[in-house]
Structure 1
């Protein structure tokens, strides 16, 4: 008769307030508040109604562009074509409007181009299993090249902003109407992300895609949808930028590359501890808009602003990777 040795049960940690976890989850919110207070103190004009409106308007357009990217990274993939799709959208609209076409037709063609790039990314990455970074670099380069070809390497001015202009320019007090629309869009996205199985599948794909597929979930179809969504939203952001700038800009996407990755990865620390999420991205976008506005008022050079952006991106990547390793080590 064999003896059975008793096994010591692992002690359960006592429930209590975890200061470190709280700081990590809500640190981005604190940083945003600190930046607002500091810039308002150093430059009182920072808190003026006009500047607040400009910050919210620019942040809203960026937020539209980065929403699809958030879920792609949350699913464990990458898309670096989003900013080139936005640039292509501005050039398609400017080119068609300057040629006599109406804004509805121009916007429809631009959105179709965004869907096409997203579908191409999805087919190659999700359908054929090709590496997302290489593919989206290639498709982004293609979109950027087409954008440059439309204007022969230069911007295209527009005499009218069509029906999109009033949407971009309308304000409700100091709050742009577009900011209210984007807030509603992100609220819907939050519900899909945190309150539906669709959102759960996105995060499960990053953790173990094979297990998701074996569970009967069509992970490739979900990933393809995410790429199409990213391309479409980038094209929408391009239409808003075209109206805001009254022109098509073939190289405008470059300035959004670091901002997009920084907002998503740094925002991944907010609330979900290393998991990119829509609320974190929205806070990250506003933080970057506040930083850009405050730095301009303080007279920072473009190189100084780029250094700060790069530092925030490095911090975001490091924090997300560190948090994911810590989380998986305790599973």
Structure 2
């Protein structure tokens, strides 16, 4: 092979690697530019503020899910836990209790369900998909029972509502907090041994156990984290919507899986990671906001969500098979 051919092949490989690592970020920029061009109101201060606030709540809910899937497990109860926390808070506030007590009760929901999931999956080694379907169904049923199948309206949103509406220009304070949380999560994932254990679990769990890593404790912590962040998101949704919505979790199911799996296309190709999830959440928020401004129907928006989820699943499965083939 000539020097020219070698340089051309190396340039092509570098270009391919660049798009594999940063293609999701480029797609986000492209989507924002296209919608801003098609609908100038997309870039208005009010729309940006609303988009960032909703994306922040979703990103918070999906943080624990990201690491669970990265470790080779699954949690499909996260959205139902958020819905139950949402209804518990709304019911307590509507009955005259303070927001502080209601928030503690909502947080307890996340801890309990995260602990149950973690114990059954990590300690008793039961199938994660089956267990989290069961606990998610339980959480969803209890949420519906609290409101007798209907929503619970609130007269005020308390200090949580006040927090949601604190802004730095067009950027909500909540967005700043979530960004800092994700920055901390990135440091833990990339700079501490936790991150190495996390991805090693998915590739070869037996080798991680033989290395003396407390795998069961690690998985238990991940499920508790998923429960806690889901419940916090549910609490924030109570104030954001000024109500308890028993079936609100269903709208986050596809978005959660799409964000985590699509996020696996960024930086760590085929590996779910927090920066990828955050980018995918913002991408989905921009797509849904822009689609609404363009008058797309709900069915059309669902088609886009499904297509993105399919892309994310395909990339993650392909990358994992390729990785295992080299082990």
TM-score tier, shorter chain, comes to over 0.9
Deviation of residue 320 (structure 1)? 1.0
**1-side partners of 2:322 and 2:139: how far apart?**
38
- Counterpart of 2:167 in structure 1 is 171
- Counterpart of 2:264 in structure 1 is 268
TM norm structure 2: 0.96
Matched, 1:232 2:197: no
- Counterpart of 1:62 in structure 2 is 58
SS in 1 for 2:158: coil
- Counterpart of 2:317 in structure 1 is 321
SS in 2 for 1:18: helix
- Counterpart of 1:105 in structure 2 is 101
Instruction: Classify 1:14/1:37 alpha carbon distance in 2 versus 1 (closer, same or farther; 3 Å).
Output: closer
The one of 275, 286, 290 equivalent to 2:286 is 290
| Aligned 8 A contact 2:203 2:324 in 1 | no
Deviations 1:129-181 (A, max 9, x none): 11000100000000000000000000001111111111111111010110000
SS in 2 for 1:216: coil
The one of 187, 207, 215 equivalent to 2:211 is 215
Aligned length: 319
**2-side partners of 1:169 and 1:242: how far apart?**
14
1:1-331 to structure 2, matched below 5 A, reads 18-331=14-327
Deviation of residue 327 (structure 1)? 3.2
**2-side partners of 1:310 and 1:61: how far apart?**
21
* Alpha-carbon RMSD: 1.3
**2-side partners of 1:192 and 1:163: how far apart?**
30
**1-side partners of 2:324 and 2:22: how far apart?**
21
Rg (Cα) greater in structure: 1
- Counterpart of 1:5 in structure 2 is none
Deviations 1:107-127 (A, max 9, x none): 001100110000000011001
Deviation of residue 17 (structure 1)? 5.2
Q: Larger % of helix: which?
A: 2
Q: In structure 1, list runs of 5 or more residues that go unmatched.
A: 1-12
**1-side partners of 2:164 and 2:59: how far apart?**
14
| Aligned 8 A contact 2:91 2:244 in 1 | yes
**2-side partners of 1:138 and 1:328: how far apart?**
30
SS in 2 for 1:163: helix
SS in 2 for 1:273: coil
Deviations 1:51-80 (A, max 9, x none): 111110000000000000000000000000
Deviation of residue 44 (structure 1)? 0.5
**2-side partners of 1:315 and 1:155: how far apart?**
35
Q: Which runs of 4+ in 1 moved over 4 A?
A: 13-17
Deviation of residue 324 (structure 1)? 2.1
Deviation of residue 328 (structure 1)? 3.3
